[in-house]
């Protein structure tokens, strides 16, 4: 759903480790939402609009050595981090009186920055978990170990994922979800693809697993054997997992079963022990997203000696903990995941990683300070007004849609009218005061805040949904639509210049943030979102003919993007990017109509030699200025539901007659597609 995909560990957010040493910022720097110096006017906009709008930016902003990619969003996120760094340095000082929130984030940050203490500990923080693994003799022991570790280890790397989510059939109710998981590579396709690069990546991965096991004291021979076992287990689990494209179909992820049925799928795993250890209430039903995965898990659990599972768990525990241990672990983790997989040359500085951990673990405490200093009531009110304007455009669009019947239109309008707009930050802040945060125990702080989050998550099972919750923290430079909540969420971090600029005229603002709002809105009606109704329930509210018309129009977009090359011989997997591509196109169209409506009757004049229409489209393109390392392009081609930036711009404008007219482009030019696609 997200506008930008979060990818592996501290890679998505940004940095500029060029020449001058970085210092904390006391205020966010200003960049206008339309920047003529970011353009390359030597390029014909009708030939390559992305280069025309962004050529200067790309030339002036090379990818910093500690980044996998670099773009306008990443640069703004970097500025946010640098600004929060200042806030945290101040909060870390115990001398002046601190508020409760300052004390929480300050002590966490202080512990994270204390590299000498972390270095001295080496692998010691892992000892309790490694001792626990060494004691596993039976599958019962294994179950209890996994249950405990699931509370304090993030992600779904330990065999499978478990947590709470809204019931697909009844969005008011929170139920338990058991997910697939258990992998160490970024996607199940890494284990199944047979091309030379994938074969090489698997070999490098096995070497990395071995290196990490050696770091916790295994001799090279046994570490090598253990690494091969890990690879064999993960390959079996990967093959039984759905692909990312299959996971776009919510029906493929919805299998509500009784606990007894789950036990029947994988009886070797002692589910009742697992639930009891995690303090879960008696579960009548739960959703097993991928039953085939659990059947394979059963096969693996019964076929393998317990020693294999000890090896597998040793790897996953050290892997999950590596970023919070001494430099040998941090470096090895960086070398494989950042350097080899993403092409990053240099480790990001410690301060930046620590700010990101605070944001992840205590985000609504840090967010309070961020909002107070960087997001005033005027920005909130203007963002809300723009959202209403874009929603009004969508309402008109739906009413006039030539291909949709009246019956489906009524349902679509009902859904649109029910969408909740969440702008900036939550109404009620999360209270972290029950977490023990120590000034000299970074590893413990990470574990305890993860446990806090796990308990918070599973405590929701069996209760009505809390509609005030956010999935992103306020400083996040990103936005999302949630089909089950039926809400759009714009954190304060994304409503900042150059993305949202109160000093600038309406055209580039509507092109940029307006199109993002439209993008998130249309997610409610893309290939995935359209399957949920106004209440957020998985229910088919389309007439068969309307569904067919939608699919034909969506297929036009799928065919268009399938032509674009990501890197080398890799094309866009446009069934994976379908929802995002439709949202980019629909969002821009809606923003254009909304902008025209918002400025109707005004005498709009050219600014800096650009007409208002041109300014709308350049503003729209300039959110996406940036570049990526080739290695990162490869990872994203497999994992990211968004198309590469240049196609997110050129792919959209080449479908829009409004664009051709703004730049007087002629039929036959590259930015004017002969067969233009249009869904909304
Ligand atoms: Zn999106």
pLDDT at residue 257 in the model: 97
Q: How far is the CA of 661 from the centre of ligand 1 (A)?
A: 27
Q: How far is the CA of 387 from the centre of ligand 1 (A)?
A: 16
Q: How far is the CA of 148 from the centre of ligand 1 (A)?
A: 35
Stated as kind and residue range, the H or E segment containing 630 is: helix 630-639
Q: How far is the CA of 508 from the centre of ligand 1 (A)?
A: 20
pLDDT at residue 535 in the model: 96
Separation CA 394–CA 521 (nearest Å): 8
Q: How far is the CA of 487 from the centre of ligand 1 (A)?
A: 13
Q: How far is the CA of 550 from the centre of ligand 1 (A)?
A: 18
Separation CA 250–CA 42 (nearest Å): 46
Distances (CA, A) of 303 to 136, 298, 489, 672: 17, 8, 46, 58
Distances (CA, A) of 87 to 21, 67, 84, 109, 365: 18, 23, 5, 10, 12
Q: How far is the CA of 518 from the centre of ligand 1 (A)?
A: 10
Angle made by CA atoms 378, 382, 386, in degrees to the nearest 5:
170
Q: How far is the CA of 190 from the centre of ligand 1 (A)?
A: 24
| Best CA proximity match to 638, nearest among 183, 294, 300, 315 | 183
pLDDT at residue 19 in the model: 57
| Best CA proximity match to 493, nearest among 514, 472, 516, 507 | 472
Q: How far is the CA of 17 from the centre of ligand 1 (A)?
A: 29
Q: How far is the CA of 376 from the centre of ligand 1 (A)?
A: 26
pLDDT at residue 562 in the model: 98
Q: Is the dihedral of CA 309, 310, 315, 319 positive or negative?
A: positive
Q: How far is the CA of 239 from the centre of ligand 1 (A)?
A: 28
Residue pair 67/81 in contact (Cβ under 8 Å)? The answer is: no
Q: How far is the CA of 480 from the centre of ligand 1 (A)?
A: 7
Low-confidence stretches of the chain (pLDDT < 70) are 1-19
List all residues 6 or more positions away from 288 whose beta carbon is below 8 Å from its beta carbon.
178, 255, 257, 261, 262, 265, 294
What is the strand order of the sheet 420-424 is part of? 420-424, 487-491, 480-482
Q: How far is the CA of 47 from the centre of ligand 1 (A)?
A: 26
Torsional class of 429: left (φ above 0), alpha (ψ -120 to 50), beta (otherwise): beta
Q: What are the backbone dihedrals phi and psi of residue 177, each rounded to the nearest 5 degrees, phi first?
A: -125, 130
pLDDT at residue 280 in the model: 86
pLDDT at residue 282 in the model: 80
Token pair belonging to 198: 């994938």
Q: How far is the CA of 276 from the centre of ligand 1 (A)?
A: 38
Q: How far is the CA of 580 from the centre of ligand 1 (A)?
A: 5
pTM of full prediction above 0.85: yes
Q: How far is the CA of 337 from the centre of ligand 1 (A)?
A: 25
Q: How far is the CA of 215 from the centre of ligand 1 (A)?
A: 40
């Amino acid at each position: 759903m997200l506008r930008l995909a979060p990818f592996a560990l501290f890679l998505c957010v940004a940095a500029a480790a060029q020449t001058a040493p970085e210092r904390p910022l006391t205020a966010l720097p200003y960049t206008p939402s339309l920047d003529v110096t970011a353009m390359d006017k030597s390029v014909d906009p009708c030939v390559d609009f992305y280069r025309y709008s962004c050529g200067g930016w790309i030339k002036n902003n090379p990818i910093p050595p500690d980044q996998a990619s670099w773009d306008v969003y990443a640069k703004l996120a970097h500025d946010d981090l640098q600004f929060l760094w200042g806030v945290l340095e101040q909060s870390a000082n115990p001398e002046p009186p601190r508020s409760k929130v300052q004390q929480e984030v300050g002590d966490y940050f202080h512990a994270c920055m204390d590299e000498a203490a972390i270095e001295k500990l080496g692998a010691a923080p892992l000892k309790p978990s490694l001792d626990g693994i060494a004691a596993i003799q039976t599958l019962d022991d294994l179950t209890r170990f996994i249950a405990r570790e699931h509370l304090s280890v993030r992600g779904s790397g330990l065999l499978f994922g478990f947590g709470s989510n809204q019931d697909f059939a009844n969005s008011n109710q929170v139920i338990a979800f058991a997910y697939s998981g258990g992998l160490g590579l970024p996607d199940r396709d890494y284990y199944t693809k047979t091309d030379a690069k994938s074969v090489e990546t698997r070999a490098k991965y096995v070497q990395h697993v071995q290196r990490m096991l050696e770091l916790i004291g295994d001799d090279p021979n046994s570490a090598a054997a253990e690494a091969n076992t890990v690879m064999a287990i993960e390959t079996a689990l990967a093959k039984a997992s759905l692909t990312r494209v299959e996971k776009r179909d919510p029906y493929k992820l919805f299998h509500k079963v009784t606990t007894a049925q789950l036990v029947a799928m994988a009886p070797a795993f002692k589910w009742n022990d697992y639930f009891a250890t995690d303090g879960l209430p008696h579960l009548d039903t739960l959703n097993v997203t991928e039953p085939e995965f659990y059947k394979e898990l059963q096969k693996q659990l019964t076929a393998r000696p317990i020693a294999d599972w000890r090896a597998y768990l040793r790897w996953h525990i050290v892997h999950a903990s590596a970023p919070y241990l001494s430099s040998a672990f941090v470096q090895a983790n960086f070398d494989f995941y950042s350097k080899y997989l993403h092409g990053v040359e240099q480790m990001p500085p410690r301060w930046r990683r620590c700010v990101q951990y605070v944001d992840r673990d205590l985000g609504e405490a840090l967010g309070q300070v961020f909002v107070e200093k960087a997001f005033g009531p005027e920005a909130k009110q203007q963002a809300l007004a723009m959202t209403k304007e874009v929603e009004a455009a969508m309402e008109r669009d739906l009413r006039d849609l030539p291909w949709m019947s009246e019956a489906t239109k009524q349902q679509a309008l009902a859904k649109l009218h029910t969408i909740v707009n969440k702008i900036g930050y939550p109404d009620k802040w999360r209270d972290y005061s029950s977490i023990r945060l120590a000034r000299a125990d970074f590893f413990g702080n990470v574990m305890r805040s993860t446990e806090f989050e796990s308990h918070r998550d599973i405590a929701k099972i069996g209760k009505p949904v809390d509609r005030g919750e956010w999935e992103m923290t306020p400083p996040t430079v990103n936005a999302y639509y949630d089909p089950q909540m039926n809400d759009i969420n714009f954190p304060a971090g994304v409503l900042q210049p150059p993305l949202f600029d109160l000093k600038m005229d309406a055209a580039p603002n509507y092109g940029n943030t307006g199109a993002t709002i439209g993008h998130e809105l249309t997610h409610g009606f893309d290939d995935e979102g359209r399957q949920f109704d106004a209440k957020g329930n998985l229910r088919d509210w389309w007439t068969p003919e309307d569904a067919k018309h939608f699919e034909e129009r969506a297929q036009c977009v799928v065919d268009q993007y399938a032509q674009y090359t990501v890197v080398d011989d890799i094309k866009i997997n446009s069934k994976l990017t379908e929802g995002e591509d439709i949202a980019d196109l629909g969002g821009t169209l809606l923003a254009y109509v909304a902008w025209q409506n918002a400025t109707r009757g005004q005498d709009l004049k050219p600014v800096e030699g650009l007409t208002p229409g041109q300014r709308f489209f350049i503003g729209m393109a300039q959110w996406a200025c940036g570049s990526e390392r080739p290695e990162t392009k490869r990872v994203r081609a497999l994992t990211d539901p968004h198309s590469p930036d240049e196609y997110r711009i050129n792919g959209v404008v080449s479908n829009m007659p409004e664009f051709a007219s703004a730049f007087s482009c002629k039929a036959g030019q590259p930015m004017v597609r002969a067969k233009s696609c249009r869904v909304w």
